[in-house]
Structure 1
């Protein structure tokens, strides 16, 4: 009798489970490292509040046929430019290595980030979270990153609330797989409505900061335009600050071009 009851209880519990296992990955990043390679400074305008570009957590979870993205920053979001999505100054790039195979995927990045990926960390998919209208982001991708557009996903709706920027996309757009098995890299940039040259809605980093320009970098195109990202074991350990600075090291040629680009690697959830 006890055996039968146990079997019935197990069967009932199994029926209450989803039809297939959903994956989740949560990655941490230490506070206070929103300075790129260690030298970057915020623009001087007051809309760029301290901590606005300081990533503290990235959570990716598959729920049925959707994948949810939640990015947490160090300060509450604001919408000073009335973008209508609960945030305005931030722009998030989420690079995903779905297969973990060297030589599979892209090692370059959209124009305006000035970074590349190590061959073993090549990405298959990129999700962009922007306060701009989806149609405009897609048009910019079509114009400025046509060679990558097939692997760039722009959610239909992105929102900001509290300290979190969130969005959901169809899992089919990201290919098969469990997010907990993916390699992830999150690059925090700033939404730029009037981008320079071929930049994909990203804000420049110059030698000296200005009202709407980050400082501490280079006036050429050799410095990485990445304010914060994931590094190390992505557990939020203080040692990961140094790992970020090392990853974002760069070298400039005399003409301002990149002699050595900052080279990013993916992070993976620790077992």
Structure 2
């Protein structure tokens, strides 16, 4: 059966835009200019928070023996104004991994300070915390604040920022398997050395922005404290901006409690490539 030149070109274009999936490596893209949470969030006013500081552009996870390399790209050159020693200061990220894709498996809650939940069929088994804080501080905070989730938190053995990339190395204990079959979600936050209450080194989102507070949200804890996330199929196209805003939409009750929490889904996973193939037919 002959294949039209148009069909071949269409398939090639689709493959070029698709996320990179291999047995030991996955890579996703995220659109630029969507570092505004549900669409309303604004950066803190201090000059250390440069435009693009929390704008995720790409994410890669690659297995290398008993370890994995994680890379996050941002829409600005990283700086270290607070002398953290890791090549960056203000960024922080949580990388959630769903290793089995089963409904009812894994956690649908998030570590304290993010105020997001996960859909029932997108529960996570492990989360990697990327922070400029030293590993001892991150582990101590997780141990003191994360409750039962602490056993599923992975802190990198090495974290370094350079140019527009943050690279980290993690041990793969508890993450055996094929990453191309896993679901991933990256939640971008901001490193907070003096977190409020039980927050796990995360920065608050308030109604109005301040020197070191995001604005455009709510002064209670009913709004998601997530500035950028992966969405859609992780291709980085414009439709994923709306997909992010939809996932991070929320409602607050009159008393400030959560009426409708922001609910995230994973990108990638065993079902995603199959769905993408259907779209290309």
TM-score by length of 1: 0.90
CA displacement, residues 17-56 of structure 1 (integer Å, 9 cap, x when unaligned): xxxx951100000000000000000000000000000000
For residue 15 of structure 1, what is the aligned residue in structure 2? none
CA displacement, residues 174-206 of structure 1 (integer Å, 9 cap, x when unaligned): 2x2111111000000000000001100000000
How many pairs were matched up?
A: 250
For residue 161 of structure 1, what is the aligned residue in structure 2? 162
For residue 123 of structure 1, what is the aligned residue in structure 2? 124
For residue 16 of structure 1, what is the aligned residue in structure 2? none
Measure, in 2, the Cα distance between the counterparts of 1:184 and 1:165.
Answer: 17
For residue 191 of structure 2, what is the aligned residue in structure 1? 191
- Contact 1:42–1:48 (CA under 8 A) maintained in structure 2: yes
Residue 86 of structure 1 pairs with residue 112 of structure 2:
no
Rg (Cα) greater in structure? 1
Measure, in 2, the Cα distance between the counterparts of 1:187 and 1:22.
Answer: 24
- Contact 1:29–1:237 (CA under 8 A) maintained in structure 2: yes
Instruction: List runs of 5+ in structure 1 lacking aligned partners.
Output: 1-20
Is the partner of 1:136 in helix, strand or coil? helix
Measure, in 2, the Cα distance between the counterparts of 1:79 and 1:152.
Answer: 25
> 1:173, CA displacement in angstroms?
3.6
Residue 47 of structure 1 pairs with residue 52 of structure 2:
no
For residue 205 of structure 2, what is the aligned residue in structure 1? 205
CA displacement, residues 219-259 of structure 1 (integer Å, 9 cap, x when unaligned): 00000000000001110000100000000010001111111
> 1:170, CA displacement in angstroms?
1.6
For residue 230 of structure 1, what is the aligned residue in structure 2? 230
- Contact 1:22–1:63 (CA under 8 A) maintained in structure 2: no
Alignment RMSD (CA, Å):
1.1
**Which deviates the most, 254-263 or 212-221?**
254-263
Is the partner of 1:148 in helix, strand or coil? helix
| 1:9-24 mapped onto 2 (5 Å cutoff) | 22-24=23-25
For residue 68 of structure 2, what is the aligned residue in structure 1? 67
TM-score by length of 2: 0.87
- Contact 2:126–2:154 (CA under 8 A) maintained in structure 1: yes
Is the partner of 1:217 in helix, strand or coil? coil
Is the partner of 1:240 in helix, strand or coil? helix
Measure, in 2, the Cα distance between the counterparts of 1:33 and 1:113.
Answer: 18
Residue 251 of structure 1 pairs with residue 251 of structure 2:
yes
For residue 215 of structure 1, what is the aligned residue in structure 2? 215
For residue 29 of structure 2, what is the aligned residue in structure 1? 28
Instruction: List runs of 5+ in structure 2 lacking aligned partners.
Output: 1-21, 274-281
> 1:149, CA displacement in angstroms?
0.9
- Contact 1:22–1:61 (CA under 8 A) maintained in structure 2: no
Measure, in 2, the Cα distance between the counterparts of 1:126 and 1:236.
Answer: 22
- Contact 1:22–1:64 (CA under 8 A) maintained in structure 2: no
Is the partner of 2:189 in helix, strand or coil? strand
Is the partner of 1:135 in helix, strand or coil? helix
For residue 9 of structure 2, what is the aligned residue in structure 1? none
> 1:171, CA displacement in angstroms?
1.6
- Contact 1:153–1:173 (CA under 8 A) maintained in structure 2: no
For residue 6 of structure 2, what is the aligned residue in structure 1? none
For residue 241 of structure 1, what is the aligned residue in structure 2? 241
Is the partner of 2:268 in helix, strand or coil? coil
Measure, in 2, the Cα distance between the counterparts of 1:201 and 1:257.
Answer: 22
